[in-house]
Structure 1
Amino acid sequence: MAMNDNLARNLTAQQVVPKPIQQPESLPGNLHTKKVIKRGITRFEVWAVSFFGILLFGLLVANVTMAMQLSMTNRSTQDLEQQSNDIVVVNENLEQKIQELSRYDRVYEIAKNNGLEMNEEQIRNVFP
């Protein structure tokens, strides 16, 4: 038995337990790598983007519409101012014509040609 004991001791001494291979703790370039899970956009994000997109489109349409209305209003205002200026010019021309036609010497000549005589008692001066 003594021999068997020695043999058993020799076998346990000869058996080498393999050590696990250790990885280096930090590999260059692979520091703190985390697995990134890529997810699609959520329904809420789709609704939010759609809502703000529609809102932006509506505001742009409203802006263009308001600009067109403002332009049309400015144009109609300019047309009214031009008509007003034309009426003022016509009125001034008519007033000048009235002054020319109501000159004393012209009225006196027409009266003389029609056989009318001047009677100082019946003359009345009318001032505008």
Structure 2
Amino acid sequence: MAMNDNLAREINMQAIPKPVQQPEYQPGRVHTKKTVKRGITRLEIWVISFFGVVLFGLLVANITMAMQLSTTNRAAQDLRDQSAEIQTVNENLEQNIQELSRYDRVYEIAENNGLKMNEDQIRNVTP
């Protein structure tokens, strides 16, 4: 029976698949995939060129618009400053008018020139 035991063991051993041995790792050799380098196709060149030209055009337009906006803002600021100066001059002139048209001043000038006040001919004018 011992012989049959060995025979059964050999059959069982043959039935079990043997593990596939992996090649040993060798530090000097690294397996790399070979990649096929292809150049850029004509279509890709045209698409990249097109988008490059569009981007350049947008940049130029952006800079141009920024310059126009800056110029317009500067002109508006100059007009505001000029308007403020004119308003100040107008206020000063109105103050001068008020000072020169005081009743006592006008009455004194009239007396110095020999004019007499006639109440019937006085008309009040309101602004």
Q: Assess same fold via TM > 0.5.
A: yes
State the shift of 1:37 in Å: 1.2
The 1:27–1:51 alpha-carbon spacing in structure 2 relative to 1, beyond 3 Å, is farther
Runs of 4+ in 1 over 2 A off after TM superposition: 24-30
1:61 aligns to what? 60
- Matched residues in 1 for 2:79 and 2:69: separation? 15
TM-score (norm 1): 0.74
Instruction: Indicate yes or no: 2:116 matched with 1:117.
Output: yes
Q: How many pairs were matched up?
A: 103
- Matched residues in 2 for 1:27 and 1:110: separation? 126
State the shift of 1:51 in Å: 0.8
What are the superposed Cα offsets for residues 65-118 of structure 1, whole Å, 9 maximum, x if unpaired? 000000000000001111111111111011101101100011001101111001
- Matched residues in 2 for 1:64 and 1:46: separation? 27
Unaligned runs of 5+ in 1: 1-23
Pairwise CA RMSD: 1.7
State the shift of 1:127 in Å: 1.3
1:19 aligns to what? none
1:76 aligns to what? 75
State the shift of 1:35 in Å: 3.1
TM-score (norm 2): 0.75
- Matched residues in 1 for 2:80 and 2:96: separation? 24
Identical positions, percent: 71
AA of the residue aligned to 1:85: A
Unaligned runs of 5+ in 2: 1-20
